[in-house]
Chains A and B, each alone.
Chain A
Amino acid sequence: MSTKERNVDLAKWSGPKRPYDLVKELVIALVVVTLLIGACAAVFGSPDERAVTLQQWGQNAPSDFVATATGELAGSTISAGYGAPYNDAAEGLTLGPLKLQKWAGITIPVNPAEDFVLKPLKSSIDSAVPTAVATWSAASADQQAKWAEDYAAAIEKAGDSAKVVEDAAYGPVPVMTAALLHLAQEGSLDGLLTTEVTPLPSDFTMPLLFLADGGYFDELGAQQHLHGDQWGMMNETGSYPGQSWLWMFSFMYQIEPFKSSENADSQIFAMLFLLNLGFIFMPKLPLINRLPRLIPFHRLIWRRYYRENNL
């Protein structure tokens, strides 16, 4: 690029000018865009698929609910083995030698067995629950795990928690999970998991983590084409465009090496960080910053100028 050319780019334009009513353009754009948006809103509306409750889960998929609650007691659910920011059950995802998830610390403490099952059971009016909880609390961790794992295996084998035959091998777990299911079905568990800090809740960490540990919520997501392999959260319920601007993010989950990586989340975030750095500093990137010259779309944009000046 010559010095003379740079000067032209820098200098205040002293060549021919044309009238340009900026304010009029803005007003016309505002009117046209408002009408266009208003029409889209009237014709297409917006999705409003009702939020799922723990009550709905308990009523529609009681066996899945009981199996998930049992998993929380066994420590085998996603939440129970998550790591930071909820607990120290796992190292969390890494980025090479960087343990960013772990280093950020446990800022939202969650003990799934305690928070999702044992604490809510204190509100149960089932007379068998205090004894069951006392038995559970008095047992060793190994015994607790064995009861819960055996009951989880029995549910899986029977295909339905209601078909599992009573057995002392499961300890107090069936009584506890049945009481929790009852709390969910009558609607009180939704409140119990959100009102511990304040009776006017705005934080839904507990019920959403519990819900997401189960198969019911996952199935609803699949029905609404929202799974990761269905381009995930970029989509919305129904036939709406959703967050199409997240296409690059969703796209990476569809391809290797990310698709099969245990650290896909952190790797994709790192890739996007680098891509965004490239996006911000694009004018400084060799070759990329030459593309506008190499692929002359600018001839189309300024075709009138080039034509009028025989360039």
Chain B
Amino acid sequence: MATMWTTRVRRATIEKIDPQDALPDNQPSYVASWIYVFGVLTLAALAVIIGSGLILTVRGASWWHTSGVGHYVNSVHLWAVELFFVFMVVHLWGKFWMAAWRGRRFATWVTGTFCFLSSLATAFTGYLIQGDFDSQWIATQAKDGLNSVGIGSFMNTLNSGQALLLHVALLPLGVGLIVVWHVILVRKNGVVPPLDAKEIAGGAA
């Protein structure tokens, strides 16, 4: 039975998950600061981005130019992105000053940085597909940078169709997977203790 692929996958995944780690109803006493809220605020803003993005996707790329409701949904999408980045940057700085990579949490930090960088790419393609002057300007300006290092030969900012598909399919999938991975690592490894907590933890070591 141990050689069954299904058994191996179950042992490597589900059986390794402690329900108390996955959905804890308590946290170490040091988890008491507003800085901890910014991670969940980032996730909340991401949820609004996905929700408003799905509406825009269903109604089509030019809907928001002709409909008042569409324009509002587009505005929600825009401001969700703006706040998403604000929350994420505060979260990131918080984690830096907490040296949150300690205790084999380096992978958590790395997935966090990839969340940020993949979000930049996703937001950038969003600006390319608005179908307005901003899109035209950003596309014509950004092409030079991308072309200069060879990326432009494969990702053409002037091709709205390519940018649209990247924005609604490939990149959100990438961001989503990295965010899920990041959250799993956070839950698996727990919240990093305060710096110099060794004297207090005592027996925990």
Do B132 and A47 have beta carbons less than 8 Å apart?
yes
Contacts of A10 in B (CB 8 A): 103-104
CB of B169 closer than 8 Å to a CB of A:
no
- Distance A7 CA – B199 CA, assembled complex (angstroms): 12
Of B5-13, B19-27, B170-178, which binds chain A?
B19-27
Do A9 and B102 have beta carbons less than 8 Å apart?
yes
Do B190 and A18 have beta carbons less than 8 Å apart?
no
CB of B57 closer than 8 Å to a CB of A:
no
Do B78 and A292 have beta carbons less than 8 Å apart?
no
- Distance A101 CA – B89 CA, assembled complex (angstroms): 32
- Distance A7 CA – B205 CA, assembled complex (angstroms): 5
Evaluate whether A20 and B26 lie within 8 angstroms (CB atoms) in the complex, with A46-B75, A221-B137 already known: yes
Closest to B123 in A: A243
**B contacts with A, residue count (CB < 8 A):** 101
CB of B201 closer than 8 Å to a CB of A:
yes
Contacts of A14 in B (CB 8 A): 201, 203-204
In the assembled complex, how far is the CB of residue B50 from the closest CB belonging to chain A, in whole angstroms?
12
- Distance A76 CA – B35 CA, assembled complex (angstroms): 55
- Distance A33 CA – B40 CA, assembled complex (angstroms): 10
Contact-residue size bin, chain A (C-beta under 8 Å from the other chain): 35 or more
- Distance A235 CA – B35 CA, assembled complex (angstroms): 29
Cβ proximity bits A25-59 to B, threshold 8 Å, 1 near / 0 not: 11001101110111011101111111110000000
Do A26 and B40 have beta carbons less than 8 Å apart?
yes
CB of B99 closer than 8 Å to a CB of A:
yes
Do B198 and A5 have beta carbons less than 8 Å apart?
yes
Do B75 and A292 have beta carbons less than 8 Å apart?
no
Closest to B104 in A: A10
Closest to A19 in B: B26
CB of B184 closer than 8 Å to a CB of A:
no
Q: Which of A47, A104, A220 contacts B152 (CB 8 A)?
A: A104
- Distance A11 CA – B196 CA, assembled complex (angstroms): 14
- Residues from 83 to 127 in A contacting B, C-beta threshold 8 Å: 84-85, 92-93, 95, 100-101, 103-108
CB of A280 closer than 8 Å to a CB of B:
yes
Do A15 and B152 have beta carbons less than 8 Å apart?
no
Do A209 and B158 have beta carbons less than 8 Å apart?
yes
CB of B14 closer than 8 Å to a CB of A:
no
Evaluate whether A48 and B132 lie within 8 angstroms (CB atoms) in the complex, with A203-B158, A228-B141, A298-B97 already known: yes
Do A100 and B97 have beta carbons less than 8 Å apart?
no
Contacts of A279 in B (CB 8 A): 113
Do B148 and A101 have beta carbons less than 8 Å apart?
yes
Q: Which of A92, A224, A280 contacts B148 (CB 8 A)?
A: A92
* 13 extra A-B contacts, CB within 8 A, seeds A104-B151, A209-B140: A4-B205, A15-B28, A15-B204, A17-B28, A20-B24, A25-B37, A29-B37, A205-B156, A226-B141, A237-B133, A245-B120, A266-B148, A276-B113
Task: Supply 27 A–B pairs (Cβ within 8 Å), ascending by A.
Answer: A9-B105, A10-B104, A11-B205, A19-B25, A33-B48, A45-B71, A46-B74, A84-B150, A85-B152, A203-B159, A204-B160, A212-B140, A226-B141, A228-B141, A233-B137, A233-B138, A237-B134, A244-B82, A265-B144, A270-B149, A292-B97, A292-B99, A298-B98, A304-B30, A305-B30, A309-B199, A311-B196
List the interface of chain A (C-beta within 8 A of B). Answer: 2, 4-23, 25-26, 29-30, 32-34, 36-38, 40-42, 44-52, 82, 84-85, 92-93, 95, 100-101, 103-108, 202-205, 208-209, 211-212, 217, 220-221, 224, 226, 228, 232-233, 236-237, 240-241, 243-246, 263, 265-266, 268-270, 276, 279-280, 282-284, 289, 291-293, 295, 297-298, 301-302, 304-306, 308-309, 311
